[in-house]
Amino acid sequence: MILRIKRGKFIRAGAVLTFIPRIPWSERPLARFNAAIPRYQRVLFYVLLAGIVLMAAFLLHERRVAHDRLAAQNDATPLAAPVSNATEPFTLDLASDSDGSVTAVERQIALPTVPSVRARALLERLMAEYALPNSLHPLASGAAVDDVFLLKLPVAASAPSPADAAPEEELAVINLRGSFINDHPSGVEVEMLTLLSIIGTLHANFPRVTQVRFLVDGQPRETLAGHADLERVYPAVDTTVAAGGSSQ
Amino acid sequence: MHSIRRWKRSSVRGWFLLSVGVLCPFLVQAQSTAAFNRDTVVLDPAHGGADGGARINDHLEEKDVTLALAARLRSLLAARGFNVVSTREDDLGSRSGTPLSTDQRAEMANRAHAVACLVLHASPAGNGIYLGTSALGSSLAAVTQNASSNPAPTSPVTWDRAQELYIPQSLGLANQIRTALSRETLPLASGRVAMRPLDNLMCPAVSIEVGPIRSDGSDPTPLSDGDYQQRVAEAIAGALIFWKNQAQPPSSISPALSTSGAGQ
C-alpha cells in the first residue's frame, strides 16, 4: 500500500506505522522506527516529549501552590483576641402616633466606639424599634441610615482659633436612604415625629452635636414624605413631647 | 451770607435725609404687615394635581380629603359672614395647568391680610386631629446665620421667617380651635411643625391635619366619613367666630402702623 505525502513523493504505509513507539522489548518495530526516521527527527520527538512531561509537572506544582495560597487567605483561624464592646445604656426618644408624644426610653446597647459609626448604629437601632410589630410609630423595616457625618463647627472656619477650640460643637449630617424615605408614611404629624425622634436621640447621646442636617442618598431633599421640611438645619435639642403635644 | 445760606440748605437736606432714614424702616414694616381683615379667612387645601399627598386608601388621596374639608368649611364660614379666600377650589387650583407652589399659596394668603390662615392636611396615620403651629420661635426653629428669638420691629422680614412675628397669634388661634375640637370630643394632639407654607404666612396660621379616629374595640372612623368631616368643619367655624373678635395684630406692628398713619 502506497501513501501520498507530497507531490511526487510516496512512502509505504508500513513506514507510517513505525512512528508509533512500540514497547521497548519488541526489537523489530523499534529497529524499523530507527531505520525509517532520521536521527534529528527522533531527537526532536524525544525533546518535545520531555517538554510535555516537564510542563505537566510544572502545572501540577503551580496548581498545588495556588491552592495553598487561596487556602491561606481563607484561613479563619483567630490570631488576635476578638474585641467585644460592652453594652451601655443609651437613650432613645421614641415617638407615638396615637397621642403625638415623644418619650425618652433607656436601652442597653453594644455600639462601636468610632463616633460617626456609633451614631449611625444608634439611629439604625432606633429605626429597628419602629419596625417592630407593636410599634407606636410604625415604619417600614430595613436599613434607614446610610451614613452619619459629624463635622466640627463652624464648618466654614478658615483657621481655628483657641477660643473656638474650647467648646467643641458638631454638626451631624444624616444621610438617609431613599428606600426609607419612599416607604415612610406621609403626614405632618408622623413625619415631624420621625424627625423629632432622630434629633432627640442624637441630642441625648451625643452632647457635642448641636445641629442636625438631613440628606437623602447624598442629596438635599425638600420634604421627608411631602410635609416636614428636610432642607433646613435643625438645632439638636431635647424633643421629648408629652402626650397631646404640649411641650417643645 | 452766601455761606450761611448754603449751610442752611445743607442742614435742611441733612434733616430731611435723617428723617427719611428713620421713618423708612417703619414704613417698610408697615407695608409688609398691615392690620387684619377680620372678616377674611384663608383656606389652603394642601396638595393638588400631580401632588396627591398621602394615600389615604386605594381610592382616596390626601388632596381629595383636604378639598372636601375645605368645601365644607368654606360654606360654613360664608354662612357666618366670613369672606373666604381659598388657594385651591378644584384639583389644580390654577388655570395654568400646574398646581400652585407653596410659595405661591403663601403669597396669595399674605395678600388677603386674613384674620386666620388654615392649612388643611389629611393623613392615614395618627389618631384624630393634629394641630400644628410653626416651629419658628421655638427651640426647634431652624438654625440660621442671623437668627434672633425676638426680631426687632425695624428688622426686615425674611420670607423663610415671615410667620415669626405672628407666632403668639398663631398659638392663640390653635388654642381656640383646640378648645372647640375638644368640645366635640374629638381626639387631638398639637405641636410645632417645620413645614411650608406655614413659615411663610403673615397671618395667624395653623396647620390642621385630619386623621382617622381610632378607638379600642371598633373600626376606625375613616377620613371619607361625611359626618366626621362635618363635625370638624363646624368646630373650626365656631372657633373662628370667637377668634375674629379676639385676634390682635402683633405688638411689634402697632407702633409701626401709627407711625405710618402719621406719616401719611
Please state the domain extents for chain A.
Answer: 37-74, 88-158+165-235
Grid coordinates belonging to B6: 448754603
Cα three-residue angle A3-A8-A13, rounded to 5 degrees: 15
What pLDDT score does A37 carry?
85
Residue A118 has pLDDT above 80, yes or no: yes
CA proximity to B206, closest of A245, A60, A33: A245
Q: Are A36 and A28 in contact (CB under 8 A)?
A: no
Contact assignment for B51 to A248 by CB distance below 8 Å = no
Residue A175 has pLDDT above 50, yes or no: yes
Picking from B140, B148, B188, B223 by the largest number of A CB atoms within 10 A of its own CB, the best residue to mutate is B140
Please list, in sequence order, all residues whose beta carbon lies within 8 angstroms of the beta carbon of residue B11, skipping any fewer than 6 positions away.
none
Peptide bond into B197 cis (omega under 30): yes
Write the residue in A100, A185, A226 that is nearest to B191 by C-beta. Answer: A100
- DSSP letter for A45, please: H
Chain A contact set for B62 (CB, 8 A): 186
Q: Which residue of B has its CA nearest to A95?
A: B126
The DSSP bridge pattern shows strands A170-176 and A145-152 to be antiparallel
- The verdict on B55 touching A (C-beta cutoff 8 Å) is yes
The rounded mean pLDDT for chain B is 80
Contact assignment for B193 to A188 by CB distance below 8 Å = yes
The shortest C-alpha distance from A226 to chain B (Å) reads: 6
CA proximity to A149, closest of A212, A195, A243: A212
Q: Is the dihedral of CA B218, B224, B229, B232 positive or negative?
A: positive
Other C-beta atoms closer than 10 Å to the C-beta of A131 total 13
Q: Which residue of B has its CA nearest to A184?
A: B54
The DSSP bridge pattern shows strands B37-45 and A234-235 to be unpaired
- The verdict on B188 touching A (C-beta cutoff 8 Å) is yes
What pLDDT score does B25 carry?
46
Chain A contact set for B193 (CB, 8 A): 188, 192, 227-228
- The verdict on A198 touching B (C-beta cutoff 8 Å) is no
Bridge partners (DSSP) listed for residue A101: A96
- Strands laid side by side in the B188-193 sheet: B83-86, B37-45, B114-122, B205-210, B129-134, B188-193
Chain A contact set for B130 (CB, 8 A): 100, 187-189, 245
What pLDDT score does B21 carry?
53
Contact assignment for B126 to A97 by CB distance below 8 Å = yes
CA proximity to B210, closest of B91, B105, B69, B29: B69
pLDDT in tens, A40-65: 999 999 999 999 999 999 999 999 99
pTM: 0.72
Confidence of residue A199 (pLDDT cuts 50, 70, 90): very high
Confidence of residue A127 (pLDDT cuts 50, 70, 90): very high
Residue B264 has pLDDT above 50, yes or no: no
What pLDDT score does B179 carry?
94
Grid coordinates belonging to A99: 397621642
Picking from A101, A139, A188, A203 by the largest number of B CB atoms within 10 A of its own CB, the best residue to mutate is A188
Confidence of residue B256 (pLDDT cuts 50, 70, 90): very low
Chain B contact set for A239 (CB, 8 A): 140
A3-40 core/surface letters (b: 16 or more CB in 10 A; e: else):
eeeeeeeeeeeeeeebeeeeeeeeeeeeeebeebeeee
Chain A contact set for B179 (CB, 8 A): none
- Count contacts between A and B (CB, < 8 Å): 114
- The verdict on A169 touching B (C-beta cutoff 8 Å) is no
What pLDDT score does B26 carry?
45
Contact assignment for A187 to B190 by CB distance below 8 Å = no
Q: Which residue of A has its CA nearest to B122?
A: A187
Picking from B143, B164, B190 by the largest number of A CB atoms within 10 A of its own CB, the best residue to mutate is B143
Where do the DSSP E strands lie in chain B?
37-45, 55-57, 60-61, 83-86, 114-122, 129-134, 188-193, 205-210
The distance of Cα B113 from the centroid of its chain, to the nearest Å, equals 10
Contact assignment for A186 to B191 by CB distance below 8 Å = no
Contact assignment for B189 to A237 by CB distance below 8 Å = no
pLDDT in tens, A59-116: 999 999 999 888 887 766 666 676 677 888 999 999 998 888 899 999 998 888 889 9
The shortest C-alpha distance from A68 to chain B (Å) reads: 59
Write the residue in B47, B130, B199 that is nearest to A100 by C-beta. Answer: B130
Contact assignment for B142 to A234 by CB distance below 8 Å = yes
- The verdict on B121 touching A (C-beta cutoff 8 Å) is yes
The shortest C-alpha distance from A81 to chain B (Å) reads: 46
Cα three-residue angle A185-A189-A191, rounded to 5 degrees: 45
Bridge partners (DSSP) listed for residue A95: A102
- The verdict on A220 touching B (C-beta cutoff 8 Å) is no
The shortest C-alpha distance from A78 to chain B (Å) reads: 49
B164-173 core/surface letters (b: 16 or more CB in 10 A; e: else):
bbbbebbbbb
How far is Cα B155 from Cα B26, in angstroms, rounded to an integer?
A: 9
Residue A20 has pLDDT above 60, yes or no: no
Bridge partners (DSSP) listed for residue B129: B188, B210
Cα atoms in the Cβ-side hemisphere of radius 13 Å centred on A125: 21
pLDDT in tens, B31-75: 444 578 899 999 999 998 888 888 998 889 999 999 999 999 999
What pLDDT score does A2 carry?
52
How far is Cα A133 from Cα B43, in angstroms, rounded to an integer?
A: 38
How far is Cα A119 from Cα A117, in angstroms, rounded to an integer?
A: 5
Write the residue in A189, A225, A229 that is nearest to B194 by C-beta. Answer: A229
What pLDDT score does A29 carry?
66
Write the residue in B139, B207, B211 that is nearest to A235 by C-beta. Answer: B139
What pLDDT score does B27 carry?
43
Q: Are A166 and A150 in contact (CB under 8 A)?
A: no
CA proximity to A94, closest of A110, A84, A105: A105
pLDDT in tens, B197-228: 999 999 999 999 999 998 877 788 888 888 99
- The verdict on B190 touching A (C-beta cutoff 8 Å) is yes
